[in-house]
Structure 1
Amino acid sequence: MTFHRPFLVSRKLSRPTLSTRRSTSGVGAYRDDAGKPYVLPSVRQAEEKVIASRLNKEYAGITGVPEFTKAAAVLAYGKDSPALDRVAITQSISGTGALRIGGAFLARFFPGAKTIYIPQPSWANHAAVFKDSGLAVEKYAYYNKETIGLDFEGMIADINKAPNGSIFLFHACAHNPTGVDPTPEQWKEIEAAVKAKGHYSFFDMAYQGFASGDIHKDAFAVRHFVAQGHNVALSQSFAKNMGLYGERIGAFSIVCESAEEKKRVDSQIKILVRPMYSNPPIHGARIAAEILNTPALYDQWLVEVKEMADRIITMRALLKENLEKLGSKHDWSHITSQIGMFAYTGLSPEQMDALAKEHSVYATRDGRISVAGITTGNVGRLAEAIFKVTG
């Protein structure tokens, strides 16, 4: 993708919990099997090492802690990716901040229409972030209410209908809010359609490792598009996969045409970030960098992030199993075929209202629940409530 002329001018600058009584299933944060907030042991150890180092509290550079951003790029694109030397990357205020920087960058420099296409549905904040960045927002087909799965045909049709050279936002894995992801083969077809239309791809990867438990599997779409010659934009978050919710650690990156263009893009990103917040926070970035750059901690983190993903996968299986044991005649296979923190149950708004009023189970009226809030202690009660409402 080649951006218009100002892009080339370089300037120098100095997301439930469920309880046995009243319950909610909307909070987008991981909980352990006791329903409590969870701090990864690797994060505790990394933080202890950071504190013991007695580092100063000076400002980070505008684009953040370099030990973090370099490692974040490797995590996303792969350590052997030939694109690494042409990736412009900046630390951001978690994934939201990365999306905001990306939106502002595209609003300023994208040579085509300043419109971004997002899936229907998408994360509730996507439209607001992009509109506030200066982009118009349109939607493309994604979720099929009838099948409670991916509307693949509709998605491809909308990619083909959009004007050539449009911007498309894709969820890299663990689609929020549906939990419905394309298969690798479907991603290949999506890439081919995007390439044929000359579209520009912006990936939101908020759940790498946290979705399947495998950081490489979860990064498949991003890496495949890059391997096929797409110079993508990417938002990363370390809220979920490291449990660093309150530390607000993320990264925004762009794969550039060359190392030379990378320098120009990096300069323009600094110009965008400077009046937004000047410099990102350092503590969480140092923790993440310690984990990503210390082999023993990195290996430990990989095990821990898989344990979190596996717990969520297990809760999906238990919910489906409990519903079937109760004698439900509905097909609940979508609960286990979906992935990530959230699940679309297929319940109607009226059924969700009944869950709240009659069983004190609270969630959004679109039928979404946060699987992270399900525990071995409450899954039975949740299944009973859903069964009584759905029959």
Structure 2
Amino acid sequence: MDAYARDGNPRKFDLGVGVYKDAQGLTPVLAAVKRAEQQLLEQQLSKTYVNGHGDVAYGQLLTRMVLGDDSPLLAASRAGATQTPGGTGALRLSGEFLRHCLPGRGIWLSDPTWPIHESIYAGVGLEVHHYPYVGADNRLNVEAMLACLEQIPQGDVILLHACCHNPTGFDLSHADWRRVLDVVKRRELLPLIDFAYQGFGDGLEEDAWAVRLFADQLPEMLVTSSCSKNFGLYRERTGALIVCASTESKLLDVRSQLASLARNLWSTPPDHGAAVVAQILGTPELKSLWADEVQTMRSRIAQLRRGLVEALERYGLDHRFGYIAEQRGMFSYTGLTPSEVQQLRERYSVYMVSNGRANVAGIDASRLDELAAAIAGVCR
């Protein structure tokens, strides 16, 4: 980010920062958010603290969005949300819970994964391990993943990305998810599903498929949810840790521990973003408007993926980079080497993470040919 800011080239590309950008290069405030904020401005009577689990309506509505309106867990009072400062806060709270309440359990992360996963869980004192996910050929390696999962000690925690895998963009198929679920059942592993991009893969309902499958088939699991991307509430830091327990009594036990842990982390969570989300999800007109806006963002990202591959075809590189169009979500493991990434920065002012991860959602659609030419310039 610093190097990009110092670069004086007016034609530079920022493909590093993980935010959605529209056709004007802006990260917009969604219309549904604007309307919800106006309603809150007129209706809100107090700025007093929310409780330790956050805004009640927010927690209920978000849990319903994640697990589905007809979820048997909701009917049986077996699921509940604790509001957190963003999805990152939910991850940290889950780490504290695992460390203090389930001592001795290791946690397994995909290789690669979002780097902060590693630092959060190592930072709270958990033993961090990795399972294969994307191989040296920059392709999803499900067989290697499953072979590793079969060796994980019984009872350990496995972190899975619900959709739009960060940083690779490669998602498991439904058949793959069922195979993972089978291993999780037999090894009695505890799934921790990071759900940061609901709506950015194939749709709001479609992206929740794996989460709901696991919730239906397993007695217990944890889900971290984020409203940063799909509501555009990046700076409002709005998320939740959703607990799915075997019984209502067990859920109450877990939630009492989470409230105590959260108290020592941030006392009570910030309210504004959660109030906005609750207003949107609880108002049919706003919810419909928001769903349309999520679809627009998702469609734009998919178009950018296809457009980049088509632009690379001119240089005979569509075969090498064809998987970019198959990936989901904001990020892509492009397959560019660290040397090629360095050359892109130095010769063409194209900035991305050194491992080749690019934020596709940050590409200017009018400059796809220019970006393709730069990539071709370092790949020949």
Normalised by the length of structure 1, the TM-score is: 0.92
Instruction: Identify the match of residue 50 of structure 1 among 24, 37, 40.
Output: 40
What letter is aligned with 1:242?
A: F
- For residues 41-90 of structure 1, the C-alpha deviation after alignment (integer angstroms, 9 at most, x for no partner) is 11111111111113210100011000100001001111100112111321
Shift in alpha-carbon separation, 1:29–1:320, aligned structure 2, 3 A = same
* Aligned partners of 1:88 and 1:265 also within 8 Å: no
Partner of 1:4: none
SS of residue matched to 1:377: helix
What letter is aligned with 1:168?
A: I
- For residues 191-215 of structure 1, the C-alpha deviation after alignment (integer angstroms, 9 at most, x for no partner) is 1111111111000000001222x11
Measured after TM superposition, the shift of residue 178 of structure 1 is 0.4
1:159 is aligned to 2:143: no
- For residues 124-169 of structure 1, the C-alpha deviation after alignment (integer angstroms, 9 at most, x for no partner) is 10011112223111111011121x2211011001100111121100
- For residues 208-240 of structure 1, the C-alpha deviation after alignment (integer angstroms, 9 at most, x for no partner) is 01222x111111111111111241101000000
Q: Give the unaligned 5+ runs of structure 2.
A: none
SS of residue matched to 1:275: helix
1:346 is aligned to 2:331: no
- For residues 75-132 of structure 1, the C-alpha deviation after alignment (integer angstroms, 9 at most, x for no partner) is 1111100112111321001100001111111111226x32100000100100111122
SS of residue matched to 1:80: coil
* Aligned partners of 1:24 and 1:362 also within 8 Å: yes
Distance 1:327 1:123 in 2: 31
Distance 1:54 1:69 in 2: 18
* Aligned partners of 1:201 and 1:230 also within 8 Å: no
Measured after TM superposition, the shift of residue 27 of structure 1 is 0.2
- Following TM superposition, the consecutive aligned residue runs of length 4 or more in structure 1 with deviations greater than 6 angstroms are 15-19
Partner of 1:368: 357
SS of residue matched to 2:21: coil
Distance 1:274 1:350 in 2: 46
1:231 is aligned to 2:215: no
Equivalenced residue count is 374
SS of residue matched to 2:320: coil
Partner of 2:209: 220
Distance 1:383 1:73 in 2: 41
Measured after TM superposition, the shift of residue 353 of structure 1 is 1.1
- For residues 300-351 of structure 1, the C-alpha deviation after alignment (integer angstroms, 9 at most, x for no partner) is 1111101101100000000000010233364322111111111111111111
Please tell me the root mean square deviation across aligned C-alpha atoms, in Å: 1.7
Partner of 1:11: none
Instruction: Identify the match of residue 300 of structure 2 among 304, 311, 316.
Output: 311
Partner of 1:59: 49
The percentage of aligned residue pairs carrying the same residue is 37
* Aligned partners of 1:205 and 1:237 also within 8 Å: yes
Measured after TM superposition, the shift of residue 362 of structure 1 is 1.2
Distance 1:35 1:74 in 2: 33
Distance 2:37 2:28 in 1: 15
Instruction: Identify the match of residue 133 of structure 2 among 123, 142, 146.
Output: 142
Instruction: Identify the match of residue 195 of structure 2 among 205, 209, 232.
Output: 205
SS of residue matched to 1:204: strand
* Aligned partners of 1:88 and 1:262 also within 8 Å: yes
* Aligned partners of 2:87 and 2:224 also within 8 Å: yes
What letter is aligned with 2:205?
A: H
Shift in alpha-carbon separation, 1:20–1:220, aligned structure 2, 3 A = farther
1:255-266 alignment runs, 5 A limit: 255-266=244-255
Distance 2:376 2:28 in 1: 30
Distance 2:118 2:54 in 1: 26
Q: Give the unaligned 5+ runs of structure 1.
A: 1-14
What letter is aligned with 2:350?
A: V
Distance 1:93 1:329 in 2: 40
1:129 is aligned to 2:103: no
SS of residue matched to 1:274: helix
Measured after TM superposition, the shift of residue 374 of structure 1 is 0.7
Distance 2:55 2:196 in 1: 20
Distance 2:321 2:257 in 1: 49
What letter is aligned with 1:139?
A: H
SS of residue matched to 1:281: coil
Larger CA deviation: 345-354 vs 242-251: 345-354
Distance 1:288 1:110 in 2: 32
* Aligned partners of 1:117 and 1:168 also within 8 Å: yes
Partner of 2:100: 108
Shift in alpha-carbon separation, 1:370–1:167, aligned structure 2, 3 A = same
Partner of 2:66: 76
1:289 is aligned to 2:278: yes
Distance 1:246 1:203 in 2: 23
Distance 1:34 1:267 in 2: 46
Distance 1:310 1:248 in 2: 25
What letter is aligned with 2:155?
A: G
Distance 1:330 1:235 in 2: 36
Partner of 1:322: 311
* Aligned partners of 2:195 and 2:225 also within 8 Å: yes
Normalised by the length of structure 2, the TM-score is: 0.95
Partner of 1:387: 376
What letter is aligned with 1:246?
A: R
Partner of 1:9: none
* Aligned partners of 1:315 and 1:374 also within 8 Å: yes
